[in-house]
């Protein structure tokens, strides 16, 4: 019997309606549209507005779109994995909230916390459940409501992040389509440069932590940039070498959308021309675990059965990695 692989059989995505433009940020902090565009490539990002709305409200439309496209009901989902660093609550897992909200009565679920690499970690984890032969339909979503943990008085972070997410359905395949290989890495030393200071068990919330603005993303951008460029490029190159891939036989690079300069450096390192690199950072900014599936969602119509796709990410933790996917269907037949 042929080996079972985990094929991606549908993609969904969601971004909230509210558009936070660079011009609006110019009114909040000491910045300019020109600085943001040239240093990051971002023009606008989406913000989830409305009381009581959290990351699960980003996941629900994604999950329902995937079910609709694939022609299945939520009851058919066996497992839901949500990659996020902005869960609805510390516990229970956002995956549990989502399964309840969509009526996925037969699914179990859990969250994965790996910041901007979360989708890659979750995708590879989900693939193992499919490959085991015990599960038929595993949904993997990467989503973040970054506006919940961003300080809109800090010009070094508020210009980068946005809310949104995307997801995929994984199903068994015996023709070799799907998740072929992954390199996943982490180095906890990097937490020094990118973290949230309070709200965890080390420093629970107090009046003081709130007054000191410690419940927001803290980032030393220059250091993160340096590690992001070298690690993302190395992981992408590593997966190419291991699978005898090169610029000619790769159809697409799907890079985490943190900064267009990091994306360009990664593509350059593996000699990939710009037209093979997915990019939507200008419209959505950095949605953390959401960026890679949001790219797949935006580009789905252009994907063809058999395409070799490389995904690469770097983020808080530090976490980073790259995955090689063999695309399982013609996107123009089902894309948005
Ligand atoms: O996805 C998770 C992982 N995160 C990342 O991958 C982010 C990696 N880092 C970056 O993308 C970049 O480091 C940033 C976009 C965060 C910053 O860009 P940079 O080119 O590294 O700027 P910098 O931090 O070196 O700052 C250069 C100057 C500084 O002024 P001085 O000290 O030279 O006078 C900053 O104060 O730019 C200033 N600056 C700004 N100026 C206008 C920082 N933020 C802004 C701003 N508008 N928003």
Distance (Å, whole) CA 66 – CA 50: 24
- Find out whether 119 and 320 touch, Cβ atoms under 8 Å: no
Q: Which residues pair with 252 in a beta bridge?
A: 309
Percent of the chain past pLDDT 90, that is, above it, reads 98
**What DSSP letter does each residue of 183-215 carry, written as one string?**
EEEE-GGGGGGEEE-SSSSSS---HHHHHTT-S
Q: In this structure, is the dihedral angle defined by the CA atoms of residues 276, 282, 283 and 285, taken in order, positive or negative?
A: positive
Q: Residue whose CA is closest, atom 16 of ligand 1?
A: 221
Residue 220 has pLDDT above 80, yes or no: yes
Query: Would you name the residues annotated as active-site residues?
Result: 116, 256, 286
- Find out whether 235 and 185 touch, Cβ atoms under 8 Å: yes
| 42 Cα–ligand 1 center, Å | 13
Residue 251 has pLDDT above 90, yes or no: yes
Q: Which residues pair with 313 in a beta bridge?
A: 321
Domain 5-178 shares a fold with domain 180-333: yes
| 319 Cα–ligand 1 center, Å | 20
Please give the backbone phi and psi of residue 91, each rounded to the nearest 5 degrees, phi first: -150, 155
Confidence label for 334 from pLDDT (cuts 50, 70 and 90) = confident
- Find out whether 321 and 184 touch, Cβ atoms under 8 Å: yes
- DSSP state letter for 11: E
Distance (Å, whole) CA 59 – CA 328: 23
HSE value, Cβ hemisphere, 13 Å, CA-based, for 21: 5
Residue 336 has pLDDT above 70, yes or no: no
Please give the backbone phi and psi of residue 72, each rounded to the nearest 5 degrees, phi first: -125, 165
Residue 92 has pLDDT above 80, yes or no: yes
Confidence label for 1 from pLDDT (cuts 50, 70 and 90) = low
Distance (Å, whole) CA 131 – CA 176: 11
Distance (Å, whole) CA 327 – CA 24: 39
Query: What homologous superfamily does CATH list for 5-178?
Result: Thiolase/Chalcone synthase (3.40.47.10)
Average pLDDT over residues 92-105: 98
**What DSSP letter does each residue of 127-162 carry, written as one string?**
HHHHHTTS-S-EEEEEEEEGGGG--TT-TTTTTTB-
Residue 227 has pLDDT above 70, yes or no: yes
Distance (Å, whole) CA 159 – CA 264: 19
Q: Which residues pair with 118 in a beta bridge?
A: none
Average pLDDT over residues 147-164: 98
Q: Residue whose CA is closest, atom 25 of ligand 1?
A: 222
Q: In which element (H, E) is residue 168 found?
A: strand 163-173
Residue 333: per-residue pLDDT = 83
| 222 Cα–ligand 1 center, Å | 7
| 242 Cα–ligand 1 center, Å | 34
CATH annotation of 180-333: 3.40.47.10
Task: Enumerate the domain spans of the chain.
Answer: 5-178, 180-333
Q: List residues near ligand 1 (CB under 6 A).
A: 31, 35-36, 39-40, 116, 155-156, 159, 221-222, 224-225, 228, 258-259, 262, 286, 315
What's the mean per-residue pLDDT of the chain? 97
Distance (Å, whole) CA 121 – CA 135: 18
Query: CB within 8 A of 268, min separation 6: which ones?
Result: none
Q: Residue whose CA is closest, atom 38 of ligand 1?
A: 156
Can you tell me whether residue 32 is helix, strand or coil?
Answer: coil
């Amino acid at each position: 019997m042929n080996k079972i692989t985990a094929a991606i059989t549908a993609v969904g995505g969601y971004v909230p309606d509210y558009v936070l433009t660079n011009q609006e940020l110019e009114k909040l902090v000491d910045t300019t549209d020109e600085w943001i565009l040239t240093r990051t490539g971002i023009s606008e990002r989406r913000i989830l507005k409305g009381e009581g709305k959290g990351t699960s409200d980003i996941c629900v439309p994604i999950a329902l779109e995937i079910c609709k496209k694939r022609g299945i009901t939520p009851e058919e989902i066996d497992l839901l994995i949500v990659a996020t660093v902005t869960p609805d609550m510390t516990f229970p897992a956002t995956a549990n909230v989502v399964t309840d909200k969509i009526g996925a009565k037969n699914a179990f679920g859990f969250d994965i916390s790996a910041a901007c690499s979360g989708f890659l970690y979750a995708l590879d984890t989900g693939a193992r459940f499919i490959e085991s032969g015990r599960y038929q339909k595993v949904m993997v979503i990467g989503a973040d409501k970054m506006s919940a943990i961003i300080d809109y008085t800090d010009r070094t972070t508020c210009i980068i992040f946005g809310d949104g997410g995307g997801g995929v359905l994984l199903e068994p395949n015996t023709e070799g389509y799907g998740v072929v290989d992954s390199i996943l890495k982490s180095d906890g030393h990097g937490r020094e440069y990118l973290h949230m200071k309070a709200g965890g068990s080390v420093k629970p919330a107090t009046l003081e932590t709130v007054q000191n603005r410690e419940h927001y993303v803290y980032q030393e951008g220059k250091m993160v940039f340096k590690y992001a460029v070298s690690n993302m490029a190395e992981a992408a190159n590593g997966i190419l070498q291991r699978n005898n891939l090169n610029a000619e036989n790769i159809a697409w690079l799907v890079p985490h959308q943190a900064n267009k300069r990091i994306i360009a450096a990664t593509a350059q390192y593996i000699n990939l021309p710009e037209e093979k690199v997915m990019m939507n950072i200008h419209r959505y900014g950095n949605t953390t675990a959401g960026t890679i599936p949001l790219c797949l969602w935006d580009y789905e119509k252009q994907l063809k059965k058999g395409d070799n796709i490389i995904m690469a990410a770097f983020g808080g933790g530090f976490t980073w990695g790259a995955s090689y996917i063999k695309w399982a269907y013609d996107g123009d037949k089902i894309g948005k």
